Structure 1
């Protein structure tokens, strides 16, 4: 993860100091990142000239302290082990400039729980990229109660400047990405354990049905396009079989009771004019058709039956 984040920043023209568990490992990873960048460019995955730009902007530091001493932004991406995080954060805090921002690339650990490692935690927050960082656009930006508002705004601008899409998230375990992702995996495992479908068929259904929509739309827009009255009816059926686990959400019930049924009524989770709704549906149809064409061009993934 750290290497991918470094590539993203270096490709954007930002000088980056790398530091790993040892100087030798840092040099090894620097060589790997440069080699990967050249391969990605040759395959057309990186724009022309990216490999040279990355090579020019990446350098290996002797230590964490040397890497962070004079920089403006520090991206920490060490393993998801609180003791390791605390040790690394303490070393960073002792060596960095007071105004330097520290962004932890944690997946599930609450940011506030890590803040005590810093004498002044106002410049500390979560900046969660997704793997592989060079190719996944979304970044969660998670402030703890003591994070300075100006720091949050600066990081939002920084994330945008390196070509990513930032979303400001409140500090909670798992944030948004993994809270949703792990719920999906848990339910998928239960489906397999109950003998309803094989793991292969669950993956097939996810990637070819609702997962086919999610590259373009989140769950709220998808629900609006389907009709919130339909969702309310379906929730009632699911609640009958699964109980409170699938109880109809009050937010959904309130919208339907108010006549807000989604795009067909002009409002739901989102409010769209008739003209915007027509544009949305046209975009949806084009997006799904183009994605089908891309999948046909790429062929099935190596995990799929051939």
Structure 2
């Protein structure tokens, strides 16, 4: 991470993070590095104080590892404080991020307390992974100021954040929330309120299929992981599933779906949108139209970017070496 000083975009903002475990603590670190004054709270003042010590210690280690800028621990000491109670933490905060455990009763109780104690115009976000935002909103006073703000673990280092309004959310608040999140160096995506949102519907669909492959004896868990990492997963840091399909050819995708349907007709039914595009002759980048409609004149540039990106990724992986999942080989240095 660069150590060059830059303006703190959230300077002067007071923000509360309720739930100061690893997710909440990581979010607090990001907000503090962006210039906000952050109060954290937890089930007790003692737990919050202990988590503040961990947040500072982590920042020290992350700096030593080159992951946080120089002086990050001092920023934590100056800008993050442990409140004696939830009510103290949210007092005066313009934005509150709830990050308590993924249990609806716990979240409901926490959100009731937050919305009772916070200013009426304070915006409240929930870092929930799968629970419907509308369901959580039932516990919020003035639910129009409530939405999902879903960071991924580890929060300091995963760049994507889901922004999830429920049907009653005041949409005029969304740009301001996105501004806060982007100030922490993240990329935001607006997602409609549905079980699992986008991230976990996709993540768990992949895990379900991977588990079935292992249960059927098609491959070991280790070999499934290798295939995912070194084939389609290798593309995913640069391209989402629609861009990948457009580059592969939507007619190819339709043919593959038809092949899979011979064994699993329901599980691999051809998506309607895919079939419609193919019927219209929109086959992806090779035809100049597809899911993303990449302009024909940009296709050579896209191909060049793709090839360079994959080579750079391979170089990075070679530099990092294998993940320390298995016992070290003889003569190998443990990471």
Same fold (TM over 0.5): yes
**Counterpart of 1:153?**
175
Query: What's the CA shift for 1:267?
Result: 1.1
Greater fraction helix: 1
Task: Give the paired residue count.
Answer: 306
Q: Which runs of at least 4 in structure 1 moved beyond 6 Å after TM superposition?
A: none
| 1:64-213 equivalences in 2 (<5 Å) | 64-213=86-235
1:15-54 correspondence to structure 2 within 5 Å: 15-54=37-76
Q: 1:288 aligns with which of 310, 314, 319?
A: 310
Q: Does 1:234 align with 2:268?
A: no
What is the Cα deviation at residue 84 of structure 1? 0.2
Task: State the partner residue of 2:20.
Answer: none
CA shift, 1:117, in A, is 1.0
1:59 maps to what in 2? 81
Which residue in 2 is equivalent to 1:262? 284
Q: Does 1:297 align with 2:309?
A: no
Q: In 2, Cα distance between the equivalents of 1:126 and 1:170?
A: 10
Q: Give the Cα separation in 2 of the matches to 1:140 and 1:57.
A: 25
Q: Secondary structure at the match of 2:96?
A: strand
Deviations 1:9-42 (A, max 9, x none): 0111111001011111111100001000011011
TM-score (norm 1): 0.98
Deviation at residue 304 of structure 1 after TM alignment: 4.6
Q: Displacement, 1:275?
A: 2.4
Point out where structure 1 has 5 or more consecutive residues left out of the alignment: none
Does 2:238 align with 1:216?
A: yes
**1:139 aligned counterpart, secondary structure:** strand
TM-score by length of 2: 0.90
Shift of 1:50: 2.5
User: Structure 1 residue 225 and structure 2 residue 247: aligned?
Assistant: yes
Q: Distance in 2 between matches of 1:151 and 1:122?
A: 9
1:248 corresponds in structure 2 to 270
> By how many angstroms is 1:134 displaced?
0.4
Distance 1:50 1:37 in 2: 6
**How well do the aligned residues superpose, as a CA RMSD in angstroms?**
1.0
SS of structure 2 residue aligned to 1:140? strand
Q: Structure 1 residue aligned with 2:36, among 4, 9, 14? A: 14
Which whole-Å CA distance do the structure 1 matches of 2:44 and 2:111 have between them? Answer: 16
Deviation at 1:186, TM superposition (A): 0.7
Residue aligned with 2:76, SS: helix
Shift of 1:66: 0.3
